[in-house]
Amino acid sequence: MQVSVKAGRMVMGRLKKGDDLLGALQQICSQQDIKLAEIRGLGAVKHARIGYYDQDGREYTFVDLAQHMELLALIGNVSIKDGKPFVHAHVTFANSQGESFGGHLAEGTEVFACEFIITEYLSNTALERAPDDETGLFLWK
């Protein structure tokens, strides 16, 4: 499935120390009424919680990384789920040894510092998530 889009607003900023990374991005999109967008970010976190989708078990398992890390890259998108803007993001972190970890960004990741950019897109057709029987995920319908 695909939709045609046009460029919308660009919102750049930084999150506050102590913010929940996913929750804060979600809140910005809701407040700014951003329904379709691409999100990028970088910074550092005090603690991370990431998910991995078990394709056979059809459920997410989550892991807590209880250490200070660089947020090397956050890449994500915004679309509509249950009638509201929904942020889906993946993240890569590095610890003090330069070892990397990554996964599906979950609530419970605490920001130390984060600079983000949200690139909004406008479309006549809403990009909405719905349950997908083949994968068990909420995918664009």
Q: How many residues bind Zn ion (CB under 5 A)?
A: 1
Nearest approach, Cβ of residue 137 and Zn ion (Å): 8
Residue 22 identity = L
Phi, psi of 6 (to 5 degrees): -120, 155
104 binds Zn ion (CB under 5 A): yes
Nearest approach, Cβ of residue 57 and Zn ion (Å): 16
Phi, psi of 135 (to 5 degrees): -115, -20
Nearest approach, Cβ of residue 88 and Zn ion (Å): 6
Nearest approach, Cβ of residue 51 and Zn ion (Å): 7
Scanning 1-9, 18-26, 33-41, 96-104 for contacts with Zn ion by CB under 5 A, the matching segment is 96-104
Secondary structure (H, E, C), the chain: CCCCCEEEEEEEEEECCCCEHHHHHHHHHHHCCCCCEEEEEEEEEEEEEEEEEECCCCEEEEEEECCCEEEEEEEEEEEEECCEEEEEEEEEEECCCCCEEEEEECCCCEEEEEEEEEEEEECCCCCEEEECCCCCCEEEC
Nearer to Zn ion, 104 or 129 (CB): 104
Scanning 26-34, 58-66, 97-105, 107-115 for contacts with Zn ion by CB under 5 A, the matching segment is 97-105
68 binds Zn ion (CB under 5 A): no
Scanning 8-16, 66-74, 98-106, 110-118 for contacts with Zn ion by CB under 5 A, the matching segment is 98-106
Binding site for Zn ion (CB under 5 A): 104
